[in-house]
Amino acid sequence: MPRYFFHLCNGTGLIEDEEGQELTDESSAREIAIKEARNLMSEEMRQGELNVASFIEVQNERGEYLFTLPFEEAFRVTRHH
């Protein structure tokens, strides 16, 4: 099974994922990136600040960058009355 790495850029620099995760495909990697972005944003919100300019870069085991997931693509803001 291929290994994917999820590197975080959160405004203070790049935090590299050195372990990665074995996943079935790139679609699964995108799902994990979205979940991780949401988890990180939740923590930021609990601290009273949210940096939607942060992003996660996903790399495969061959060192190829597959996609970048901006945090702002991991959520939708709605306003219901």
In a domain, residue 33? The reply is yes
The two tokens of residue 57 are: 């870069």
Nearest of 17, 18, 21 to residue 56 by alpha carbon: 17
Number of folded domains in the chain?
A: 1
In a domain, residue 78? The reply is no
State residue 52's pLDDT score: 83
| Tens-digit pLDDT profile for residues 20-56 | 999 999 999 999 999 999 999 999 889 998 888 899 9
State residue 50's pLDDT score: 84
In a domain, residue 79? The reply is no
In a domain, residue 56? The reply is yes
Q: Which domain holds residue 49?
A: 3-73
